[in-house]
Structure 1
Amino acid sequence: MSSATQKPQTKGRGITDLVAGGTAGLFEALCCHPLDTVKVRMQLYRKSGQKPPGFLKTGINIVQKETFLSLYKGLGAVVIGIVPKMGLRFSSYEFYRSLLYAPDGSISTSSTFLAGVGAGITEAVLVVNPMEVVKIRLQAQHHSMADPLDIPKYRNAPHAAYVIVKEEGFKTLYRGVSLTAARQATNQGVNFTVYSKIKEYLQGYHQTDVLPAWETSCIGLISGALGPLSNAPLDTIKTRLQKTTYASNESGMVRIVKIGKQLVHEEGMAALYKGITPRIMRVAPGQAVTFTVYEFMKGVLSGDTPIPSLTSGNKKLD
């Protein structure tokens, strides 16, 4: 029976998925974080009578005014959160997926989508939202890292989390959680569905369970690009909501609607898609890195993929 229809063995897979997913997340953050900083700055830009700076100009402005290292603002929050996030994403996806197999071992496209939705909600509630509140606060700070006298309010991720909780309360870390959950659910529903179906097709085409790394990267790139297109307005409103530092007695839904209406009224419908270019440029290659590293690490941990050895190269040099 082919890998597309055969129900996989799940015994011992939880730890493998957790470790492989966490490692993949670490590599993804290190490679793609500057694009996320540019995306956040574009989403936070407020209309001032001038044409909003584009993707390249926003990045150049950050580097010129705040140094190149400023593109990595908030990286600490991401690294602290992304390892458990990705571990949870893949392990929970495989868990939900295992519950949805048909008696003959096959799984439908709708079930794959539901497993992805479940994984997205799980990671959003447990890890992503608190991490993003801290990350966005750090990325929103306009200060030069080259000037030692320019001391920001939030020095690093742990300090930012401490200050936020102390001044605004623990619940602030969950500001916008409904939007984050909706965004992650649609992201991962689309992401895993497209990835798994293209992967199954290529496995059948090549008559093998193991695909070349470049094909895995291409599948991740395609699946990763489709998610942001499905929920860009949610992400823009979420960023504005999580950036605010003042307390409010209004319910989350009221504030979400208010921010959305204000954006459209002041800046037009296009404002809901602010930062979509860097977001796709961030998420798509990020998913290419994530799935490639995940598949490799899963193979290594399960013993199916040998670890590359440098001995043969050393012998050739000798």
Structure 2
Amino acid sequence: MSDTAAKVPFKRQPPKKRGAVDFIAGGVAGLFEALVCHPLDTIKVRMQLYRKSGQKPPGFVKTGVNIAQKEGFLSLYKGLGAVIIGIVPKMAIRFSSYEFYRSLFYDENFNITTGQTFIAGVGAGITEAVMVVNPMEVVKIRLQAQHHSMKDPLDIPKYRNAPHAAYLICKEEGFSTLYRGVSLTAARQASNQGVNFTVYSKLKEYLQERSGTEVLPHWQTSGIGLISGALGPLSNAPLDTIKTRLQKTTFASNESGMVRIMKITKQLIREEGIHALYKGITPRIMRVAPGQAVTFTVYEFIKDMLNSDTSILASTNKKLA
């Protein structure tokens, strides 16, 4: 064969229909992400809720140390119950809806453009925000915002755990409180998943074509997950900070969501400056980037394992038939 012969292009395999596989793989991936990265999320929330008091705001490390010293190390895992309760449906909806929206754009060779990938990611982000993420985050933020010591058994917090917090919120403030800030959450998740899935998918496609294989090594999956996860927070940090302040408030209001959003934004900028909109950006990137590395690595591993087992089982059944 001549050295100048054209290189055989990488042929992409048609996507498999795997709703149950996406659900299980996404749930396991989300569980691992929560266990590994939740302390960083607690630090991020505390930094975003810190009010200007004439002193220099504590940084990422100091905030984490203060929580551990004053309230106990396990306080870094406040709100974890709310995350775990919602993580399986959240990840199932994220990956399943993304694959569904993505399938609407495939051409005859199962290719999809960058813009179409972004739209599929945006759709997945909005879907998960409305169905799971916003109620879960309202409960999580209320738990994380409590300054009580887990070292002292007599220091009983208002919200004892995630189900208790959800019950009290609905009882005292109404069920609609669980959807406080949903527009901001949807905007944040849409931009997050749009950027996240687009960068991840295109880097994955590039590496697949370069290596000529569908299955990438785990270190490559982790690497592109880390890169894609770091870019989302940079695009929507102000939305996340305002959303956290809005969801932390415990009083009922007849004002529309947009009016409250504008009031919080103006007050935040007036009292603490424009840079306050980026409070917690460091721990958020440190939370989201490795979180996405863990999520995509575990997701791809579990998905490949389940698909392999399914293929083996189908092949065995065919031979027995």
For the aligned pair, the TM-score class normalised by the smaller chain equals: over 0.9
Offset of 1:104 from its aligned partner? 3.5
What letter corresponds to residue 14 of structure 2 in structure 1? P
Partner in structure 1 of residue 163 of structure 2: 158
- Name which of 33, 36, 39 aligns with 2:41: 36
Partner in structure 2 of residue 80 of structure 1: 85
Offset of 1:7 from its aligned partner? 6.0
Work out the CA distance in 2 between the residues paired with 1:56 and 1:2. Answer: 49
User: In the alignment, does 2:19 pair up with 1:17?
Assistant: no
The answer to whether the 8 A contact 1:7-1:106 is kept is no
1:303 counterpart SS class: helix
User: In the alignment, does 2:301 pair up with 1:296?
Assistant: yes
What letter corresponds to residue 241 of structure 1 in structure 2? L
Instruction: State the number of aligned residues.
Output: 305
With normalisation by structure 1, the TM-score equals 0.93
User: In the alignment, does 2:148 pair up with 1:143?
Assistant: yes
Offset of 1:102 from its aligned partner? 2.1
User: In the alignment, does 2:63 pair up with 1:58?
Assistant: yes
Work out the CA distance in 1 between the residues paired with 2:255 and 2:171. Answer: 21
The answer to whether the 8 A contact 1:66-1:145 is kept is yes
Partner in structure 2 of residue 313 of structure 1: none
Work out the CA distance in 1 between the residues paired with 2:215 and 2:13. Answer: 16
Q: Where do 4+ consecutive residues of structure 1 move more than 4 Å?
A: none
With normalisation by structure 2, the TM-score equals 0.92
Larger Rg: 2
The answer to whether the 8 A contact 1:17-1:91 is kept is yes
Offset of 1:147 from its aligned partner? 0.3
Work out the CA distance in 2 between the residues paired with 1:20 and 1:257. Answer: 39
1:205 counterpart SS class: helix
Give the alignment of 1:66-105 within 5 angstroms.
66-105=71-110
Partner in structure 2 of residue 309 of structure 1: none
The Cα offsets for residues 171-200 of structure 1, whole Å up to 9 and x where unpaired, read as 000000000000000000000000000011
Partner in structure 1 of residue 5 of structure 2: none
- Name which of 183, 188, 212 aligns with 2:193: 188
Work out the CA distance in 2 between the residues paired with 1:65 and 1:146. Answer: 8
What letter corresponds to residue 124 of structure 1 in structure 2? A
Partner in structure 1 of residue 4 of structure 2: none
- Name which of 247, 260, 265 aligns with 1:260: 265
What letter corresponds to residue 127 of structure 2 in structure 1? T
- Name which of 229, 248, 258 aligns with 2:234: 229
The Cα offsets for residues 148-173 of structure 1, whole Å up to 9 and x where unpaired, read as 11000000000000000000000000
What letter corresponds to residue 9 of structure 1 in structure 2? P
For structure 2, which runs of at least 5 residues remain unmatched after alignment? 1-7, 312-321
Partner in structure 2 of residue 214 of structure 1: 219
For structure 1, which runs of at least 5 residues remain unmatched after alignment? 307-318
What letter corresponds to residue 215 of structure 2 in structure 1? V
